[in-house]
Structure 1
C-alpha cells in the first residue's frame, strides 16, 4: 500500500528554513554543545572514533533513559533515530492489518498515517477545546471495542499543551485493560511543564504499555536525532528486530552527547532553561493575542512550546500558512 504524504511535515519542510519567523516550531530554541558540555567533554568528543554504536543503544545511554521511568532497566529501552522512528517501529511491532487503533485527536498525525499504511484502522477520540482540551473519555469508551489493539496518546499533548490528570490516566488504562489493548504514549514533552512538575509516565503498573521519548522537544536537542522506546523487555526485543530493518543504529556522537544530557548534573539545567523560556514566551504570546481582540484565542498550554490557536477568519489554515 502506498503511504500518504505526511502533510504537516511536508508543509513545514517547505517553509521552516526560509521564513524570517517560524510559527510552526514545536520545540525550544536548540542548544549549542558549548552551552551544556564542559571543555573536557568537548575534547573527549573530538577524540571519539566514529564507528557503529551498539544497535539497540549503548548500555550507558539505555540505563540513563530507563532511570526516567519507574522500575525499568536497560533491557526495557530501545534507542532510535528520533521518536519518529520509534513510532514507526512500535506500530509495526504491535499491530497487524485489520487491527483498530484509537488515537487521541488533535495530535501529531504520524501514527495515523502509519496505521493506514499497515492496513490497520485508525479511529479518533477527542480533546475538547470547550473544556480546556480535557479528553472526552466517554467518547473513548464508545469507540474502544474488542478489535482495538492500541490506544495511542500524546501526553503532554501536541499541539494543545494539555496534560492528562492522574484520574484521566487511570481511566484510560482501565478502558484499555477491559479489552486487552496496548497503551502507546508519545511522551516527548515530558519535562517541558510550565509549572515544573514533571508529568507521570504511562509506563508503570499496566503491563501492555509502551512509550516513546526523545531529546528533540523537552531537551532542545533535535539535531541529535535521538529517541527511544521503553516498555516490556520482550516487546522491546521484538521492536529491536524491526529496527534492524530501518536505520540499524543511532549515531555514536548522539549516543555520547545523549548520555551527558540525561545525566543528573546536566538534565535539570537543560529542563529549567527551557521552562524559563516557556514561561517568558507565553507571556509575550498572550500579550500579542490580546492585541487582536476577538480575532484570536487559545487555551494556555500546561506543557510544551506550542498552543492550538483558534482564529476567526474565513480561510483554511493551510491556505493561511501559505499566504503568510
Structure 2
C-alpha cells in the first residue's frame, strides 16, 4: 500500500459507533431533519428529483457559499463531498512530486498522508502548548525554502481550539509571500467561536490562498458530506478537473439542504445553537478537569468542538484509550494520533447528559486505576 493508514479516522470509524459512551466526536451533536427544517422545507425535499445536479455545485449553493468570503463569487467555489475530499483535491491541484509543504501541528493529519503519498516532503511547525498554543512563526520560517509550495493550516485548530490572531495571520501571509508559496487553510470550524464573534478567513488576504469549509463541524451536519473549496477562479477551475476524477459530485439532497442552512438567518440560528452548547459544555469540562487538577490540564479552546487534555498518568495514550473503551465503555481519542503522547481529545459538542455520564465514568475509572 502506497499511502499510510489515516489513524485518526480509522480508529474513530472502528469504535465510535459501538461504544456506550463516545467522547471523541469532533463536532456538535448532529441535527435531525425535523429539528433543522420546517415542514414545508421537508416537503420540498421530498419532491426533489434525485438526479446528479451540477457537479461543481449548484449555482445557488455556490453563490451563498461565496457570500461568506470577501470579493468572492460562485466561480471561486467548488462544492465537494465533505472537507476531506476538499483536502485531497487541494493537495493534488497545488502540489506535484518533489515539492515541500510545511504544516501546522498538532493538526487533523489527513493532508500529511496525502502529501507523502504524492511524493512530496511534509515538514512541521508547531503550536506551542507552553505558550497557550500560539504558533511558532520563527520555526515556520525556518522550514521554508525555494521548494516550499504550500503552508497548510487548520484555523480554528483541531485539536487545540486555538484561533490565530489577525497579526499572526498577517505574519503567515508575509512568510508565504516571501517564498511565493500557497496558503491552504482548513477552516471547517469557522463560525464556532466561543465568544460568538466570527473571525476572518485567510481568503482575501493574499492572492495565493485557498481555504476549505463545510457543514460537518461548526454546522453539526456531518452526515450531509457537504464541503467546499474557495480560491482564485483559475485554481478552482483546476480543482473541478480533479473533482471529476474523485466523487464527481456531492448528493443533490445535500445541495438543497446546504442552500437552506447557509441563508443568513438560518446560519445564525445554527451557529448560535452550537456556540451555546460549546460554552455550556466547556464549563462542565473545566469543572471536571479541576477535580483532577493534579493529573489533568488543558488550555481552554477559543473555538471548535473539543478540548485537548494533557495528563501525567504513567500510561501511553493509546493504552489509556483502549483500556477505557474496552473495560469502561468510554471512548476518548488518544494523543498518539496527533503524535502527542500524554494527551487525549474529548469532544465537547456532545449532548450535556452524555458528557456528564462520560465524566462520571472517567472519574471513577481514573481514580480506580491510578489510586488517586
Deviation at 1:320? 1.3
CA distance in 1, matches of 2:244, 2:295: 50
1:51 aligned partner: 51
2:33 aligned partner: 33
- The answer (yes or no) to whether the contact 1:156–1:199 under 8 Å persists in 2 is no
Deviation at 1:205? 3.2
Report the secondary structure of 1:122's partner residue: strand
Report the secondary structure of 2:40's partner residue: helix
1:119 aligned partner: 119
Equivalences for residues 177-192 of structure 1 within 5 A: 177-192=177-192
Deviation at 1:19? 1.1
CA distance in 2, matches of 1:37, 1:117: 41
CA distance in 1, matches of 2:273, 2:203: 26
Moved over 3 A (4+): none
Deviation at 1:164? 0.1
What are the superposed Cα offsets for residues 45-67 of structure 1, whole Å, 9 maximum, x if unpaired? 01011011100000000001001
Deviation at 1:293? 2.3
1:12 aligned partner: 12
CA distance in 2, matches of 1:284, 1:139: 35
CA distance in 2, matches of 1:144, 1:314: 37
2:97 aligned with 1:97, yes or no?
Answer: yes
What are the superposed Cα offsets for residues 232-282 of structure 1, whole Å, 9 maximum, x if unpaired? 010000000000000000000000000000001200000000000000000
1:242 aligned partner: 242
CA distance in 2, matches of 1:223, 1:106: 25
CA distance in 2, matches of 1:36, 1:25: 20
Q: Name stretches of at least 5 consecutive residues in structure 1 with no aligned partner.
A: none
Report the secondary structure of 2:149's partner residue: strand
CA distance in 2, matches of 1:306, 1:283: 12
1:68 aligned partner: 68
With 312-321 and 300-309 compared, the bigger mean Cα shift is at: 312-321
- The answer (yes or no) to whether the contact 2:173–2:205 under 8 Å persists in 1 is no
Normalised TM-score (structure 2): 0.86
CA distance in 2, matches of 1:322, 1:199: 37
CA distance in 1, matches of 2:35, 2:131: 40
1:136 aligned partner: 136
CA distance in 1, matches of 2:53, 2:110: 27
With 182-191 and 199-208 compared, the bigger mean Cα shift is at: 199-208
Deviation at 1:158? 0.4
Q: Name stretches of at least 5 consecutive residues in structure 2 with no aligned partner.
A: 325-372
- The answer (yes or no) to whether the contact 2:101–2:152 under 8 Å persists in 1 is yes
Deviation at 1:289? 0.7
Report the secondary structure of 2:184's partner residue: strand
2:291 aligned with 1:291, yes or no?
Answer: yes
Deviation at 1:210? 0.2
With 270-279 and 285-294 compared, the bigger mean Cα shift is at: 285-294
Count of aligned pairs: 324
What are the superposed Cα offsets for residues 180-215 of structure 1, whole Å, 9 maximum, x if unpaired? 000000000000000001011000030100000010
CA RMSD, 1 decimal: 0.7
2:211 aligned partner: 211
Equivalences for residues 132-211 of structure 1 within 5 A: 132-211=132-211
CA distance in 2, matches of 1:32, 1:132: 36
Normalised TM-score (structure 1): 0.99
With 310-319 and 103-112 compared, the bigger mean Cα shift is at: 310-319
Deviation at 1:322? 1.1
- The answer (yes or no) to whether the contact 1:194–1:303 under 8 Å persists in 2 is yes
Deviation at 1:132? 0.5
1:320 aligned partner: 320
CA distance in 2, matches of 1:10, 1:221: 20
CA distance in 1, matches of 2:123, 2:316: 24
CA distance in 1, matches of 2:89, 2:3: 15
CA distance in 1, matches of 2:172, 2:133: 16
CA distance in 1, matches of 2:316, 2:6: 18
